């Protein structure tokens, strides 16, 4: 397969993605400002932070901000989590008019609080319930329904192929597979063989996830697994440029230069302004602290800057620190 064939458009249900490089859903990371930056850098689709179906049901005020979508974002996937097929399908109906393109159901989150409620990756242990949830969601909405899963709950229960086949049979339009078990969280290496096995067993698009950090690893995953698309998670934190870099590499092997210091400064300040627009100064500046840490990791003399940014209370303070000390 020619390298240029690895980068291609991708159809999920009736939704056409310009390319097959996707921003993974990450709680506390993939909010509207960050999705907008990744979309501008060429992400084929951006996934929102996971949203609790019960929080929508009970009209949790924080959930409304999670549901916001910018008209310039490009293709957006909204991810729900929950375990009750009735609540999930009713809430999906309730929000379907919002401007997202694809509805995803989270069956991969490893966080104890979520798993303890029988949600996220705990659903991997209940294939019958998986079938009920996906069937109910597909019936409830007209938009394509997709599923994000893991390799299995633990090494003794590796069942991604079984769950993916159930997803397809229940009407899912695509499945994303993270090559680690719930027990692994994000430790160790992702098992790409399980992604290849899922690809061999279903005909819907399969999106591979886990340990793609640059163009070379993206190429390797696409070739070794045969997956239709790749999902970038932790490697995108502080690095929205990764989508452009991977696309350039998959086109013709070009290794794009990393952004220089001035480009990083400009990105941090633009990100901060977007945060303030969306969340106000108090919350926006506090949320920028972790992003600044990700943007500057590995940069010379950046540890002191991160300490000072963690004390910043206003955009003016943050701007001065970034311009003078980065």
3-state secondary structure of 232: strand
Non-local CB neighbours of 269 within 8 Å, separated by 6+ positions: 318, 319, 322
Q: At what angle do helices 215-225 and 242-252 cross, to 10 degrees?
A: 60
CA pair distance 84, 54, nearest whole angstrom: 9
Report which secondary-structure segment, H or E, holds 229: strand 229-232
- Residue 185's CB is within 10 A of a number of other CB atoms, namely 12
Q: Return the CA Rg of the chain.
A: 19
> Which entry of 38, 46, 47, 109 is annotated as an active-site residue?
109
**Taking Cα atoms as reference points, which of 281, 282, 274, 243 lies closest to residue 259?**
243
Find, among 139, 198, 142, 143, the residue nearest to 170 by Cα: 139
Cβ neighbours of residue 77 under 8 Å, at least 6 residues apart? Answer: 22, 25, 45, 46, 47, 48, 100, 101, 102, 103, 104, 146
Distance CA 115, CA 205 (A): 26
47 is catalytic: no
Residue linked to tokens 């002191």: 304
User: What does each C-alpha distance from 266 to 7, 122, 193, 316, 321 come to in angstroms?
Assistant: 28, 41, 40, 14, 13
As given in the structure block, the two tokens for residue 259 are 């952004």
Copy the structure tokens of residue 49. Answer: 């932070």
Active site residues: 109
């Amino acid at each position: 397969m020619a390298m240029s064939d690895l980068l291609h458009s991708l159809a999920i249900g009736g939704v056409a993605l310009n390319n097959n490089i996707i921003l993974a859903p990450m709680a506390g990371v993939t909010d509207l400002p960050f999705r907008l930056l990744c979309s501008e850098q060429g992400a084929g689709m951006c996934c929102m932070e996971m949203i609790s179906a019960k929080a929508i049901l009970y009209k949790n005020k924080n959930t409304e901000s999670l549901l916001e979508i910018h008209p310039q974002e490009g293709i957006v996937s909204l991810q729900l989590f929950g375990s009750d097929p009735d609540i999930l399908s009713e809430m999906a109906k309730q929000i379907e008019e919002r401007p997202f393109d694809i509805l995803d159901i989270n069956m991969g989150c490893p966080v104890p609080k979520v798993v303890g409620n029988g949600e996220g990756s705990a659903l991997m242990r209940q294939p019958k319930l998986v079938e009920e949830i996906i069937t109910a969601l597909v019936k409830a909405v007209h938009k394509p329904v997709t599923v994000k899963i893991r390799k299995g709950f633990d090494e003794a229960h590796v069942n991604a192929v079984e769950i993916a086949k159930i997803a397809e049979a229940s009407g899912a339009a695509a499945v994303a597979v993270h090559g680690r078990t719930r027990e692994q969280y994000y430790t160790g290496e992702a098992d790409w063989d399980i992604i290849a096995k899922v690809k061999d067993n279903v005909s819907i698009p399969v999106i591979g996830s886990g340990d793609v950090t640059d163009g070379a690893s993206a190429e390797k995953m696409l070739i070794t697994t045969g997956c239709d698309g790749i999902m970038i998670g932790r490697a995108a934190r502080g690095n929205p440029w990764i989508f452009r870099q991977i696309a350039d590499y998959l086109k013709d092997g070009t290794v794009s230069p990393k952004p220089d210091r001035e480009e990083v400064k400009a990105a941090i300040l633009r990100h901060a302004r977007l945060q303030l627009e969306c969340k106000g100064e108090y919350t926006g500046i506090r949320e920028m602290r972790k992003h600044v840490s990700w943007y500057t990791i590995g940069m010379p003399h950046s540890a002191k800057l991160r300490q000072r940014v963690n004390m910043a209370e206003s955009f003016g303070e943050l701007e001065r620190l970034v311009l003078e000390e980065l």
